[in-house]
Structure 1
Amino acid sequence: MATLPLYPEILVAIFLCFLFLCHWRWSKTRTITNWPIVGMLPGILQNLSNVHEYFTWLLKHNGGTFEFKGPWFTGTNTVLTSDPMNIHHICSKNFLNYPKGSEFQEIFDVLGDGIFTSDHDSWRYQRKLLQTLLKDNKFKLFFEEGVKGKVEKGLIPILDYVSSLGIEVDLQDIFQRFTFDSVCLTVLGHDPNCLSIEFPKVAHSKAFDELEKSLLYRHFVPERWWKLQKKLQIGSEKKLSDAWKVLDEFVNECISTKRDELTLKKEELKFNLFTAIVMEEKEEEMNGNITKSNKFLRDTATNLLAAGRDTVSAGLTWLFGLLAAHPLVEAKILEEIKEHLLDNGKSKDLNIDELSKLVYLHGAICESLRLFPPIPFNLKYSVQSDILPSGHSIRPNTRMGYSLYSMGRMESIWGQDCLEFKPERWISERGGIVHVPSFKFIAFNSGPRTCLGKDITFIQMKIIASTIIWNYRVHTVESHPVLPRFSIVLHMKHGLKVRISKRFV
């Protein structure tokens, strides 16, 4: 009797093995069938390499909301939507009925009890704490100077070096190195120096890539299947465990070092989020010792590192991929930089006020994020029964998925030119930024869980983008394939291989 609960999963495993053995005979198809026992999973597996495009097709042909039927007894049935009104309902109007939920927390166990996985009081506490710190002028100045310093001492020397040699370089790799250094400085006050001419191998940075692939895999297979792999330490779960260990060793070492600094060198402390969080705890004695525990600090740091490294680097990669394919857009950004950021032929200091004048660049960034949102898919769970604005009935504990990637490709939301890269759609007749509701442009999420780092993301992207566009020409390598990677973050599968040359010699 002890093995009876696993019986459906055994049937699924046998059936899936059969499907994979026959896979070479299949051609990709966009039809989806609700099979006995395995449900619609074979259709997803057939299209896993282009799963976001597949979701987009399904949603377009089902009025913007689609009910996925998973294998029997596995609890993977999911209501998938790209309907803005449904998303507004889920993320704002009926927010309390759609928390992350325990299932989400199990999938993203590597993030611990951080802000991205927590709910209720724990989430509110962490959000309030981080919101206070991020709004502090001391933090804004620290962040701005840190990004500009990394541009001057890291990014420019590398781009000068590769341009002088005329060699190919993976711009995605450069951006990931930049943002990892930057976020480590911001959060932990530690610069791992990933961004250098030597292009050193950095295990804790690469660990993120492996974690992201494995975490997305968990979304598409039955829970007991990946938990069995985890128990046996095989397949993607073995890779996840190894990457998790590498990441934890790095974060815990940084925490230990910072604790020593807090104890021994209070008068010499430099600002960073880790220090600010601990000092905030000491000053206000908020919630006892919660922020003093290593687990809290580890979870907070891991969540912030994941957000700061991958979302910004992915956003920059797709932006430059699009600019390389749209030289007229790049030319307009160049004219804007020349008009607002030059004084008698010399570059002005890139502060927040000056960057706010780059309206067309802002529009280009928004347009890139619309088409290629760094987090292409989000998941929640219902608490009670509900009816969505689309009319779909939701039962308790229903998996709710919304596709950010698909939303950018819906004519019903953006018009017939939805697939075109047009920064102009973000600019008003008076030359200002057009406001678009967050449940329509959802790259930074919507409602109470709207991304706290939205403003600093734009600052960082504008500093990096304006520096590169003004000083260098970026050409993608001919015939280089540009495809999304299978990951919870929308990286490019093969990177962004480019050649770089100086604009002014």
Structure 2
Amino acid sequence: MGLVLGSAHYLLAAVAFALLVRAILGKKAIRRNGEPLRNPPNTLPLVGNGIQFLQPRWNLLSWFDKCQRQFGYETLALTVPTLPPGVLIHDPKNLDYVFKHEGLFTKGNFVKTRSWDLFGNGIINADGDFWKLQRKAGLSFLNTANLRVLTDVALPQYLSESVKELESAKPDQVIDLQDIFHEITTKLMGKMAYNVTPLPFPFLSMEMHFSSPFSSSFDHASGCTAQRFQNPLYPLTEFFFGHKFRKSVSVVKKFGLEIVSRAMEEDAKKAAPVSASSSSPSEPPPPSTEQLDSISGSLIHSLLSAIPDSPETVADAALTYLSAGRDTTGQALTWTFYLLLSHPEVLAKIREEVASVLAQQPPNTGFSPTLFTPRVAPYALAVFYEALRLFPPIPFEIRQCQAPTTLPDGTFLPRDSVLVWCLWAMQRSRLTWGEEAGEFRPGRWLDGGGRMVMRGAGEFPVFYGGARSCLGRRMAEGIAVQVVPTVGWLFDFERGWGGGGERRSGSSLTLPMEGGLPVFVRRREVG
């Protein structure tokens, strides 16, 4: 009954909004070579494709996939009453054009107004100088030296802690692998970017599972923010039913400001003169610990240096980077092992690669995650990339034109028109990926010599492209080529959920697995 009422309210709002938009923008028609664009399947009068956007996210992604399978690379008219007039693009050439003209295609007011409460002036909303300052801070944090500390010191430490947790699992105990992987990425970002492991307040601790107040609050706020893009009446519904959302945002914001406050205190202490009594000699820390401590908090300090007069903006930026570094990689690893559960032949090849690497080590060399890099473990990296292809952490994107332009396929877009592309659908395109596009085939990423073969951003836009290309790509690769071989080599897994059905993603800005990835785990008899 609630769904019926919600749909009825949506239809009324949609019709009114559609008439208003047409009155304002009707003279600026989207055309391709002078002709109107074709409509996607299930387009209705007045409400257009709005009902599709009202569907659960998994259904919406399936509809996007249906569009590309039916129309190929053709650009389609997208009519959603909560959006300005827009298009749905599938052609990699069009997407490359978007990436190359970053200033022309921005998030726009439609996206910013819906994501503002959670992310504020964070980099995903920022343009101009704010964006440049935050990106520069991110580049400084993710330099080669810091990435080396991540892969050689921090990641092995946190990965070994997760291995011990898996080893302690009882035979009949269900373990959530999504929780395990997010614990690793949370600790990495918490220590290296913000130096907050742990915080002095238990409810703000970065060393947490999904049940912790911060994680659950962030996940709830992210889900509500995602629903804003599908619910045209969200200001009204949140006014009556948004208490939990507002409370969740408050917890998240408090966490961000606490990170900034601690970093400012550290900067003040470093600037203060050191007294003789406080400089007494002490036992030096181990070299690895000293390396990690030397760069801990480097991102938050870079952000403070770049934006010294706005703690709130620094907090927004910090939380945006936290989400990017924690959620996307952790979710990608979750989907990777979900696929491996159904493809034991792929897991067997990963183990063959691990065995080959171990065989090349000097005698009595123990197993260490640091043995695995993108160069020596290309198949493991290919498995990760194939999982990213089928389950992209950001499944679809929305941009808005800041000036009239024409796409390479001849589609004219007036100012303020919207572009939507669905990575979920594009990366299942047979035109781009061949007849087996819907299948899990890591070998497609390798050449005849077993070396990785990368695709252009237009074909594989998981890491975006152009000036806004993902800063964390090398970090994600470094994490994946240690976690996938290590966990895949040391443990056997069995499904821990009943029914044998597929796992799905719930409502979120990213692609978390709804209900996690429950498994039974057993330690293998290996070195």
Mark yes or no: TM-score above 0.5: yes
Residue 241 (structure 1) aligns with = 246
Q: Which range moves more in the overlay, 391-400 or 327-336?
A: 391-400
Amino acid at match of 1:50: N
Aligned pairs, number:
467
| SS in structure 2 of the partner of residue 308 of structure 1 | helix
Amino acid at match of 2:91: D
Matches within 5 A, 1:31-430: 31-36=41-46, 38-46=47-55, 48-64=57-73, 65-71=75-81, 74-92=82-100, 94-109=101-116, 110-138=118-146, 140-142=148-150, 144-153=152-161, 155-162=162-169, 164-192=170-198, 201-222=211-232, 225-230=233-238, 232=239, 234-235=240-241, 237-265=242-270, 270-272=293-295, 274-275=297-298, 278=301, 290-341=307-358, 343=361, 344=363, 346-347=365-366, 349-351=368-370, 354-430=373-449
CA distance in 2, matches of 1:486, 1:157: 32
Residue 506 (structure 2) aligns with = 485
Say if 1:46 and 1:133 are closer, same or farther in 2 by CA, change over 3 A.
Answer: closer
Amino acid at match of 2:413: I
Residue 516 (structure 2) aligns with = 495
Amino acid at match of 2:438: L
Deviation at residue 194 of structure 1 after TM alignment: 6.5
Q: Which range moves more in the overlay, 306-315 or 478-487?
A: 478-487
C-alpha contact (below 8 Å) 1:85/1:439 kept by paired residues: yes
CA distance in 2, matches of 1:60, 1:276: 42
Say if 1:341 and 1:395 are closer, same or farther in 2 by CA, change over 3 A.
Answer: farther
Deviations 1:424-477 (A, max 9, x none): 111111221112112111111111111000001111122221211111011223
C-alpha contact (below 8 Å) 1:60/1:410 kept by paired residues: yes
What is the percentage of aligned positions where both structures have the same residue? Answer: 26
CA distance in 2, matches of 1:200, 1:422: 31
C-alpha contact (below 8 Å) 2:156/2:370 kept by paired residues: no
Deviation at residue 339 of structure 1 after TM alignment: 1.0
C-alpha contact (below 8 Å) 1:143/1:186 kept by paired residues: no
C-alpha contact (below 8 Å) 2:350/2:379 kept by paired residues: yes
CA distance in 2, matches of 1:201, 1:308: 19
C-alpha contact (below 8 Å) 2:214/2:255 kept by paired residues: yes
Residue 20 (structure 2) aligns with = none
Say if 1:246 and 1:326 are closer, same or farther in 2 by CA, change over 3 A.
Answer: same
| SS in structure 1 of the partner of residue 521 of structure 2 | strand
Amino acid at match of 1:476: R
Deviation at residue 349 of structure 1 after TM alignment: 4.3
Deviation at residue 195 of structure 1 after TM alignment: 6.0
Deviations 1:97-154 (A, max 9, x none): 102223322121111112211112221232123213311514531564222111122x
CA distance in 1, matches of 2:392, 2:197: 27
Residue 493 (structure 2) aligns with = 474
Amino acid at match of 1:301: A
CA distance in 1, matches of 2:88, 2:296: 36
Deviation at residue 500 of structure 1 after TM alignment: 0.5
Deviation at residue 66 of structure 1 after TM alignment: 2.4
| SS in structure 2 of the partner of residue 498 of structure 1 | strand
Amino acid at match of 2:177: L
CA distance in 2, matches of 1:278, 1:171: 32
| SS in structure 2 of the partner of residue 439 of structure 1 | coil
Say if 1:143 and 1:32 are closer, same or farther in 2 by CA, change over 3 A.
Answer: same
C-alpha contact (below 8 Å) 2:84/2:416 kept by paired residues: no
Deviation at residue 484 of structure 1 after TM alignment: 2.3
TM-score when scaled to structure 2?
0.81
Say if 1:43 and 1:441 are closer, same or farther in 2 by CA, change over 3 A.
Answer: closer
Amino acid at match of 1:332: K
C-alpha contact (below 8 Å) 2:182/2:327 kept by paired residues: yes
Residue 26 (structure 1) aligns with = none
RMSD: 2.9
Say if 1:253 and 1:261 are closer, same or farther in 2 by CA, change over 3 A.
Answer: same
Say if 1:293 and 1:352 are closer, same or farther in 2 by CA, change over 3 A.
Answer: farther
CA distance in 2, matches of 1:184, 1:379: 29
Unaligned runs of 5+ residues in structure 2 are 1-5, 15-39, 199-204, 280-289
CA distance in 2, matches of 1:280, 1:43: 40
Deviations 1:347-368 (A, max 9, x none): 4544487452101111111111
| SS in structure 2 of the partner of residue 79 of structure 1 | strand
CA distance in 2, matches of 1:387, 1:206: 43
Unaligned runs of 5+ residues in structure 1 are 1-8, 18-29
TM-score when scaled to structure 1?
0.85
CA distance in 2, matches of 1:281, 1:53: 42
Say if 1:11 and 1:165 are closer, same or farther in 2 by CA, change over 3 A.
Answer: closer
Amino acid at match of 1:315: A
| SS in structure 2 of the partner of residue 130 of structure 1 | helix
CA distance in 1, matches of 2:430, 2:327: 28
C-alpha contact (below 8 Å) 1:278/1:292 kept by paired residues: no
CA distance in 2, matches of 1:158, 1:424: 32
Q: Which range moves more in the overlay, 251-260 or 208-217?
A: 251-260
C-alpha contact (below 8 Å) 2:176/2:518 kept by paired residues: yes
C-alpha contact (below 8 Å) 1:377/1:488 kept by paired residues: no
| SS in structure 2 of the partner of residue 430 of structure 1 | coil
Q: Which has the bigger relative contact order, CA under 8 A and spacing at least 6?
A: 2
CA distance in 1, matches of 2:441, 2:58: 27
CA distance in 1, matches of 2:174, 2:459: 38
CA distance in 1, matches of 2:90, 2:294: 41
| SS in structure 1 of the partner of residue 493 of structure 2 | strand
| SS in structure 2 of the partner of residue 400 of structure 1 | strand
CA distance in 2, matches of 1:279, 1:175: 27
CA distance in 2, matches of 1:228, 1:466: 49
